[in-house]
Amino acid sequence: MARSPRGPILRRRPPQAARHEDRISALPDDLLLLLLRKIDTHTALGAGTLSRRWAHLPRQLPDLDFRVGDILSPRYHKWLFVGNGSESEYGWQTSEKEIEPNIRRFERRAMRSLVRSVQSFLDAGHDGRRVNRLRLEFFTTHNTACINRLLAKAIDAWGAVSLEVLAKPIHGERQVHAFPSHGLCEEPRASRLQSLKLGGCVPPPLHQYSALSTLVLQDMPLSTPEAAYEGVFTSCPQLQVLHLISCQCGDQIVVDAPKSQIRELVLDKCHFIRLCMRALPCLERLASLETRVLFESASFPCLTQYNLKLGFGDNLGKFTQYFVNIFKAQIGLFFRHTREITNLLIRFTGAVRWIVPSSSPATFLPNLRRLLVADVPSSWDVSWPRLLLETAPNLHTLHVHVDPSLAEPGDEIPWQPTMLRHDHLKEFVMIGFEAMERQLYLVKFVVEVCTALCHVALFKDGHVRDKGHWDWELVTEQYSWTQEEKGAMLNQIMDGVSSSSIAPSHLVFR
Alpha carbons 293 and 299: distance in angstroms, whole number: 15
The CA R_g of the chain, rounded to the nearest whole Å, is 30
What type of residue is 445?
F
pLDDT at position 36: 63
pLDDT at position 313: 54
pLDDT at position 85: 63
pLDDT at position 297: 75
Q: Is the separation of the CB atoms in 454 and 427 below 8 Å?
A: yes
pLDDT at position 348: 73
Q: Is the separation of the CB atoms in 417 and 443 below 8 Å?
A: no
Query: What is the maximal distance between C-alpha atoms in the chain?
Result: 113
Alpha carbons 500 and 451: distance in angstroms, whole number: 6
pLDDT at position 61: 66
Alpha carbons 121 and 59: distance in angstroms, whole number: 9
Query: Virtual CA dihedral for 405, 407, 411, 415, nearest 10 degrees?
Result: 0
Which of 264, 257, 258 minimizes the C-alpha distance to 303? 264
- Residues recorded for the chain: 510
Alpha carbons 147 and 404: distance in angstroms, whole number: 49
Q: What is the DSSP letter of 257?
A: -
pLDDT at position 57: 59
Q: What is the DSSP letter of 367?
A: T
Q: Is the separation of the CB atoms in 452 and 501 below 8 Å?
A: yes
Which of 359, 356, 364, 507 minimizes the C-alpha distance to 428? 507
pLDDT at position 370: 96
Which of 457, 458, 449, 442 minimizes the C-alpha distance to 500? 449
| Phi and psi, residue 95, nearest 5° | -95, 160
Q: What is the DSSP letter of 380?
A: S
Mind listing the pLDDT tens digit for each residue in 354-394? 666 655 566 778 899 999 999 988 888 899 899 889 889 99
Alpha carbons 283 and 273: distance in angstroms, whole number: 23
Q: Is the separation of the CB atoms in 221 and 247 below 8 Å?
A: no
Alpha carbons 476 and 431: distance in angstroms, whole number: 7
pLDDT at position 243: 98
Low-confidence ranges of the chain (pLDDT < 50): 1, 17, 88, 314-320
pLDDT at position 111: 94
Measure Cα distances from 386 to 125, 336, 391, 445 in Å. 66, 18, 9, 8
pLDDT at position 249: 92
| Phi and psi, residue 121, nearest 5° | -65, -40
Q: Is the separation of the CB atoms in 510 and 479 below 8 Å?
A: yes
pLDDT at position 311: 66
pLDDT at position 317: 47
